[in-house]
Amino acid sequence: MSQKIHIRSASASNRVRPLAATQKYHRIFTPGEEVIKAAQTHFVRGHGTYEEGGDLKASVAGVKEQVNKLVSVRPLKSRYNGQVGEVLVGRILEVQQKRWKVDTNSRLDSALLLSSVNLPGGELRRRSAEDQHMMREYLQEGDLISAEVQSVFTDGTLSLHTRSLKYGKLGQGILIKVFPSLVKKCKLHFCTLPFGVSLILGNNGYIWISPTSNNVEGDEGGFIQNLEEVIPKDIREAMARVRNSILALAQNYMMLFDTSIIFAYEESLKYSVHELLLPETMVDLAVLTQQKLSMMEDYEFIN
Q: Which residues bind other proteins (CB under 8 A)?
A: 17-18, 20-24, 26, 28, 30-32, 48, 50, 52, 57, 59-66, 74-79, 107-109, 155-156, 178-179, 181-182, 184-185, 250-255
62 or 221: whose CB is closer to other proteins?
62
30 or 164: whose CB is closer to other proteins?
30
Min. distance of Cβ 76 from other proteins in angstroms?
5
188 or 231: whose CB is closer to other proteins?
188
Min. distance of Cβ 69 from other proteins in angstroms?
14
Min. distance of Cβ 108 from other proteins in angstroms?
5
Helix (H, G, I), strand (E, B) or coil at 65: strand
Min. distance of Cβ 11 from other proteins in angstroms?
12
21 or 231: whose CB is closer to other proteins?
21
- CA pair distance 98, 116, nearest whole angstrom: 10
Q: Check: CB of residue 110 under 8 Å from CB of residue 202.
A: no
17 or 127: whose CB is closer to other proteins?
17
- CA pair distance 30, 60, nearest whole angstrom: 6
**Residue spans of beta strands (DSSP E) within the chain:** 28-29, 34-36, 44-45, 49-52, 55-58, 62-67, 70-75, 87-95, 99-103, 110-117, 144-152, 158-162, 168-169, 174-177, 190-193, 197-201, 206-211
Min. distance of Cβ 106 from other proteins in angstroms?
8
210-215-91 Cα angle (round to 5): 35
